[in-house]
Amino acid sequence: MPIRFLRLAIVWLLLLVSIWVVQPYVTALWLSASAPRTVTPRADLAAAEQATIRLFKEASPSVVHVYARGTPRTSIFSDEQESRVQSGSGIVWDLAGHVITNNHVISGTAEIGVRLTSGEFVAARVVGAAPNYDLAVLQLERPRSALHPIAVGRSADLQVGQSTFAIGNPYGLDQTLTSGIVSALGRKLPSVTAREIKGMIQTDAPINPGNSGGPLLDSAGRLIGVNSAIVSGSGASAGIGFAIPVDIVNRVAAELIRNGRVPLPGLGIVAAKQDEATSLGIDGVIIVRTLPGSPAAQAGIEGATEDGVIRDIITEVNGKPVHSMEELTSVLEDEGIGKPIELSVERAGRTRTVKVTIADVSRLAQR
């Protein structure tokens, strides 16, 4: 009896081993999809998907790729001239061929070209730039393709939580769509000048290098901002992107197209950096110099001496303390060109009141 049981167990063991060895071959023979799979039908796309697809189809023809070549320079390693090429995004603004982009996309360059969604490459020139707002307007030179101006919305009535969509050319990848929400409103971001851009829109829609100058859209496909900057330790999207509000863009673009420049409310002063004032224990705006013919110069405000001795420090505007050039600039922009203001100016421990009228100092700043 034990021998018979042992033989039976061996037979079953051999049978199981055989099945284990043969199983992959049987599976491959009978279950492999050696012919194309049958497509599983699906229902209609979700309403949200359809809306996003429609938004992209309608808005993407208004987004272009901007290329800018820097001034040629001679390499220290060879006698050949080298020139740096930078790229970003742009927005078709009108049927006349004006394109909106960031000033930092085209700043310091000698040649500019734009590739339209049709594939046509068009030369472009700068109509005007507003570094204080990081905006520039380009003019396309005789495009043959049809132009599709962007639909313009408003930024004043935006709310945190609204859906946002960004279209651009991150890392040179044309016509990339990303989405997110309005993360915050009213942010301030420094420009290349001493002025801050106020009212910036913060979004978590992924924005990367190359998105600069491209549109931030609402769920209706309307322009609500121009993507301008990201906050990231690595230089890639970290979910914190900033766009210039369309209400500012609308106003600045019109000024640049009409006059080639944007009026700049100011007093005609050059101030010391905030950290320099802090290191000296000074609370106020240290005047480094005044521009000739400016309201500040006419009011007797003086800059530092050649050997660095500080003369005048602005401490108040219209009776309210100011601690930095950014705060002073904000007051001047809120008041506007042509408005009179009172400054409290400290010199050698004594404070005097000076009346000045805010002027357009954009021409003075170019001297």
Secondary structure class of 118 (helix, strand, coil): coil
Question: What count of residues does the chain have?
Answer: 367
Q: How far apart are CA 112 and CA 132, in angstroms?
A: 21
Secondary structure class of 338 (helix, strand, coil): coil
Q: Which of 360, 361, 355, 327 is nearest to 341 (CA)?
A: 355
In the chain, what is the straight-line distance between the N-terminal and C-terminal CA atoms, in Å? 114
Q: How far apart are CA 360 and CA 365, in angstroms?
A: 10
Phi-psi map region of 14: left, alpha, beta (phi>0 left; psi -120 to 50 alpha): alpha
Which active-site residues does the annotation give? 104, 134, 212
Residue 229: which residues within 8 A CB-CB, separation 6 or more? 134, 189, 212, 241, 242
Side chain identity at residue 318, one-letter code: N
Residue 327: which residues within 8 A CB-CB, separation 6 or more? none
